[in-house]
Amino acid sequence: AHPILSVGRDGEGRFLGLAEDGGAPSRRESLIHVHLTRLSGEAARGALEAALEATLADVRAAVEDWKAMLKRLGELVVDYRWGTTPLEPRVREEALAFLEWLGADNFIFLGMREYRFVATEGGAYVDPIGETGLGILRDPEVRVLKRGAESLNAANAIGAFARSPEPTMVTISNVRSRIHRRVHMDYVGVKLWGDDGRMTGELRILGLFTAGAYTGSVREIPMVREKVARVIEAVGLPAGSHSAHALLNVLETYPRSELMQIDAATLQSFALAILALGEHPRIRVLARKDPFDRFVSVLVFVPRDRYTTDLRRRIGEVLEGRFDGKTVSWMTAHSEGPLTRVHYIVGRYRGVTPEVTQADLEREVAGLVRTWRDDFALAVETLDDEGVVRDKLARWADAFGAAYREAMSAAVAVGDMGVMEELDASAPFAVRFYRRDGDPVERIAAKLFQLGAPIDLSRRVPILEAMGLRVIDESTYRVAPAGGPVVFVHDMTLAHGAGRAIDLHENLIGRLEDMVAAVFAGRAESDGFDALALTAGLDRREVAVLRAVARWLRQARTPWSQDYLWTALRRHPGLAVDLVALFRARLDPAPSENREAAEARVRARMEAALERVASLDDDTIVRRFMAVIGAMVRTDFFRPDADGRPRDTLAFKLTPEKIGDLPRPVPFREIWVCGPTVEGVHLRFGPVARGGLRWSDRSQDFRTEVLGLVKAQQVKNAVIVPVGAKGGFFPKTIEPGMDRDAVAREGTAAYRTFVGRLLDLTDDLSDGAVVPPPATVRRDGDDPYLVVAADKGTATFSDTANAIARAHGFWLDDAFASGGSAGYDHKKMGITARGAFEAVKRHFREIDVDPMTTPFTVAGVGDMSGDVFGNGMLLSPAIRLVAAFDHRHVFLDPAPDTAVSLEERRRLFALPRSSWADYDAAKISAGGGVFSRTAKAIPLSAEARALLDLDAQHATPAEVIRAILKARVDLLWFGGIGTYVRAATETDAQVGDKANDAVRVTAAELRARVVGEGANLGMTQAARIDYGALGGRCNSDAIDNSAGVNCSDVEVNIKIALAPAVASGRL
């Protein structure tokens, strides 16, 4: 708002008030009212007031001296028309026309000052003549030419102007206008002549060209038209031709301020370069330095479809850096053609303008203009022939999203593309470790590629952190190639967990990538041992050796946790390296030197290093590792698998007595199998030993379970020649919630791996000669005898074991595993249960009970799918099974119908796989039922409470199981896995079955009249003694189990005896 008001003021200009029309003396003033954001502080308000006063002062100076400046211009015109000058007539006339054109409303005069020309030996300079200043140049402090804060009197440029034939010069001043437009004012320099025709000085005119100067034809503007004509003439295009019209258009659309300033030669060069863009559009950068070295004027042509504000800004930053200046203005011109022109003025404030070639500038601008996709196409074109490149671009050009393109260069994308092209359903994962440019030495990065679906952060992070790395940041990118499945790229920023530098050489990259890929493929485990790849330089399989030793130590009841073990080795990476060296010295089939000497040297080095270990625990742990490795007599580590690849599951044969401090009895030999899918152990108490293989559910201490079983096996085997042996394995891939079929598949696969590894470390026989395993060092002599049998969980696996033996070419063939289709099927025969039931019948006869005719109550451990429990509960029609439990369910039937329940048990036994949940509820007596062991509580009916002697209406599954074990029944039948009864003098820890600590009872609490055991270890030996002393009737489990052992022995002996006849074809 700016109303015109009549204002009264005193002699000093102070406001007196508004005057009435026709009243007291007043003057007309324009009141300008402007709303501003709030200014904070007096300093800001003072600065604004000073700026306004300076602007008004410029306006007053320019207005007051307007006529004087026009008058001086007129005098200059007269001097040029009539005075003595060395100018040629044509040049004089053009100069006159230009000066007159300026005065004809084509220039806003804001300031004028004359300068005296002074020639020296070093060049020339000009001195301002102070009294000649008009307009804003009244103020002697205002300098037309300056660089930064300093005045500029460029001798070379002034001398060059003085020597040139041109009478005028147009350029840009350093002074920004505060009037009309906030831009740098145009500076017109006009030579002044003395009476003798010599140049005496210069009149400098400051102001702004008006709109007419920018809109009029270049052929009508004096001085400009002369330059244009010279360019057209020099180029020599035929008049009226298309090219001539195009050249004229280039000149008409050339930035008008530039036309005023540029010399004809440079204009010709630039005009031709621009003209060529019409035929071949491309990036073009045309830079011109100001004669006084204060500015660089740069014309930049870029593709119109690529032009953005951000591109304009980034090009400006490049120019600023190249010319060591600051962009003071820019102007964009969009034409109908394919290019956009941006005119930059780069201000210079110090030093000499750097020399920059046009090619360098265009190369840099092209790099900015080029899109990521352009760069990607160029990078792909270097890979292969045209056809392959075309196919790759069709598939991958649009695959990468904006986030990926922002973060990754096209060259990086081509590398990632190569990785992703290798992914398929059989190998959906890949990983690449690298270091980004500029990252510190303790930081690296990893890209994880996954086909089809992203990998949860909760899965990625623990794996990387287990390797001794710390995850700092991550970004996930979705890459969608045409016609192919989506790939997710997880870019992880990592640092050394302890903040140390990481020497990311090729070997380390290979080790880390192999380790991560193996973990995600399920071919390796992930835990703290993995950090030894980073800290000790071990590869994945060398780490697996130390992990396997640690897992064996856990099974051997070491007092330390796995975390404590790997922490100790990570504290002493050099000793970890030496442990692997010790392993290689003992068992590598291709040693580089004498094996004993190499082992002695490693041990000596380790002993010296251990002297420097301050922690007793660390010292003891390393020595335990040394002892286990020192007890190894065979391994399949150095033997490739059937496909020629390194093995992921490792097997070691040990002589345990060399280790020391082990739970007794100590086996003669032991094979330890450890891998990502299975762990297992096989204990033998002599060169010729037999025993079953058990599917254990005790992940932490199955060796303790097997050791307990083999004690009984020793006694059982007293009736045959071979001594006792026992094996157990734990499948590691079974997840909670898996259905029965999935559990069976995983368990069978684990059994196959376990049995295969046992055979891999066993000698073979051929024509009576021992054939050692390939690529295997044997430090225990010949050892070709290995016979196994079915056990809990493996009753139907004998055919599988024998097929593995046959595939190995093992000399025992189907005598390797007793039972199966070509042997005695223990489950079908029910031999183990029948043998145990004979012992039960004897116990009952001693108390005048015939268990075949007199109904008797039974509580049991197991379910009808099992060999021992299932067969046993079908051996008498008088059985009244009132309660049972296994690892899944609790079964209660307080008053069963003897005949009906027998038929239902027979139905369940005939199913391929069954559980108590399959029991027909309609055939359970009142108050009974089947309950899950995972339930929070089990409701107890009056009948169930009476059966179990419990008062509460609800009890936990553990409470119910303890009550079943203590139930007042005739027979307690053990047909499942676990030790459920101990002596009062024993602790649960001494029993060594942690899984059943919560339900175990003492022998004194048993109220069953008889205990029968077709399984093993249902009671500790001390508990059997206590129970017998209290009047209970039971045998050693070895006695109850002996029928199965004897049956297997008969089968194996027959097969061995008849093997030669079979081999020769006589049978």
Choose among 271, 396, 287, 261: nearest CA to 346: 287
Residue 466 included in any domain: yes
- CB burial class (10 A; 0-12, 13-18, 19+) of residue 1022? middle
pLDDT tens per residue across span 172-226: 887 888 888 888 899 999 999 998 889 999 999 999 999 888 888 999 999 999 9
- Answer yes or no: do 13 and 24 share one domain: yes
Residue 143 included in any domain: yes
R_g of the chain, CA atoms, integer Å = 50
Mean pLDDT over 646-666 rounds to 95
DSSP one-letter string for 332-399: EEE-SSSEEEEEEEEEE-SSPPPP--HHHHHHHHHHHHS-HHHHHHHHHHTTS-HHHHHHHHHHHTTT
Residue 495 CB coordination number (10 Å): 19
State how far the Cα of 864 lies from the Cα of 475, in Å rounded to an integer. 53
pLDDT tens per residue across span 439-478: 999 999 999 999 999 999 999 999 999 999 999 999 999 9
pLDDT tens per residue across span 294-348: 899 999 999 999 999 999 999 999 999 999 999 989 999 998 889 999 999 999 8
- Answer yes or no: do 921 and 937 share one domain: yes
Structure pTM? Answer: 0.71
Residue 824 included in any domain: no
pLDDT tens per residue across span 138-162: 988 887 776 554 555 555 667 778 7
Instruction: State the CATH number of the domain containing residue 354.
Output: 3.30.70
Phi, psi of 516, deg, nearest 5: -65, -45
State how far the Cα of 936 lies from the Cα of 880, in Å rounded to an integer. 28
- Helices in 731-873 by DSSP H: which ranges? 740-760, 798-808, 826-829, 831-845, 867-872
Hey, what are 152's tokens? 């500029």
Choose among 1016, 1009, 1017, 882: nearest CA to 948: 882
Helix and strand counts by DSSP (H, E) for the chain: 35, 38
Cβ proximity of 343 and 330 under 8 Å:
yes
Residues shown for the chain: 1067
User: Would you state the pLDDT for residue 149?
Assistant: 47
Provide CB contacts within 8 A for 149, sequence distance 6+: none
Report in angstroms the alpha-carbon separations of 1039 from 692, 718, 835, 909: 16, 10, 9, 25
Residue 691 included in any domain: yes
- Answer yes or no: do 606 and 749 share one domain: no
The owner of tokens 């700026």 is 51
User: Would you state the pLDDT for residue 943?
Assistant: 97
- Answer yes or no: do 232 and 197 share one domain: no
Hey, what are 211's tokens? 């709109």
- Answer yes or no: do 161 and 176 share one domain: yes
Report in angstroms the alpha-carbon separations of 1025 from 309, 964, 1003, 1028: 93, 21, 9, 5
Residue 324 included in any domain: yes
Cβ proximity of 676 and 648 under 8 Å:
yes
- Residues with active-site annotation: 726
- Answer yes or no: do 984 and 902 share one domain: yes
Q: Is the pLDDT confidence value at 1000 over 60?
A: yes
Residue 521: alpha-carbon gap to chain centroid: 15
The owner of tokens 């992914």 is 423
User: Would you state the pLDDT for residue 180?
Assistant: 85
Instruction: State the CATH number of the domain containing residue 658.
Output: 3.40.50.10860
Residue type, 996: N
User: Would you state the pLDDT for residue 152?
Assistant: 52
Lowest mean pLDDT among 883-897, 907-921, 1033-1047: 1033-1047
pLDDT tens per residue across span 713-772: 787 777 777 888 999 999 999 998 899 899 999 999 999 999 999 999 999 999 889 999
The domain boundary, picked from 169, 186, 215, lies at 215
State how far the Cα of 47 lies from the Cα of 41, in Å rounded to an integer. 10
State how far the Cα of 378 lies from the Cα of 370, in Å rounded to an integer. 11
- Answer yes or no: do 249 and 312 share one domain: no
User: Would you state the pLDDT for residue 985?
Assistant: 96
Instruction: State the CATH number of the domain containing residue 918.
Output: 3.40.50.720
User: Would you state the pLDDT for residue 4?
Assistant: 85
The domain boundary, picked from 589, 617, 632, lies at 632
- Answer yes or no: do 442 and 473 share one domain: yes
Cβ proximity of 436 and 445 under 8 Å:
yes
Comparing 127 with 1011, the larger pLDDT belongs to 1011
User: Would you state the pLDDT for residue 123?
Assistant: 67
Report in angstroms the alpha-carbon separations of 732 from 746, 750, 754, 797: 9, 8, 12, 18
Residue 533 included in any domain: no
Cβ proximity of 1019 and 981 under 8 Å:
yes
Mean pLDDT over 605-617 rounds to 97
pLDDT tens per residue across span 779-838: 999 999 999 988 888 878 989 999 999 999 999 988 898 877 888 877 888 888 999 999
Residue 645 included in any domain: yes
Q: How many folded domains does the chain comprise?
A: 8
Cβ proximity of 790 and 798 under 8 Å:
yes
The owner of tokens 């103020």 is 139
DSSP one-letter string for 4-32: EEEEEE-TT--EEEEPPTTSSS-EEEE--
3-state secondary structure of 767: coil
Residue 703 CB coordination number (10 Å): 27
- Answer yes or no: do 502 and 577 share one domain: no
Confidence band of 773 (pLDDT split at 50, 70, 90)? very high
Percent of the chain exceeding pLDDT 70 equals 98
- Answer yes or no: do 982 and 892 share one domain: yes
- State the angle between helix axes of 66-82 and 89-101 in degrees (0 to 180), rounded to the nearest 10: 170
- Answer yes or no: do 337 and 425 share one domain: no
The domain boundary, picked from 632, 659, 690, lies at 632
Owning domain of residue 319: 281-369
Residue 780 CB coordination number (10 Å): 16
Residue 493 included in any domain: yes
User: Would you state the pLDDT for residue 550?
Assistant: 98
- Answer yes or no: do 453 and 475 share one domain: yes
Hey, what are 656's tokens? 């345990």
Report in angstroms the alpha-carbon separations of 129 from 110, 113, 715: 17, 7, 127
State how far the Cα of 299 lies from the Cα of 315, in Å rounded to an integer. 11
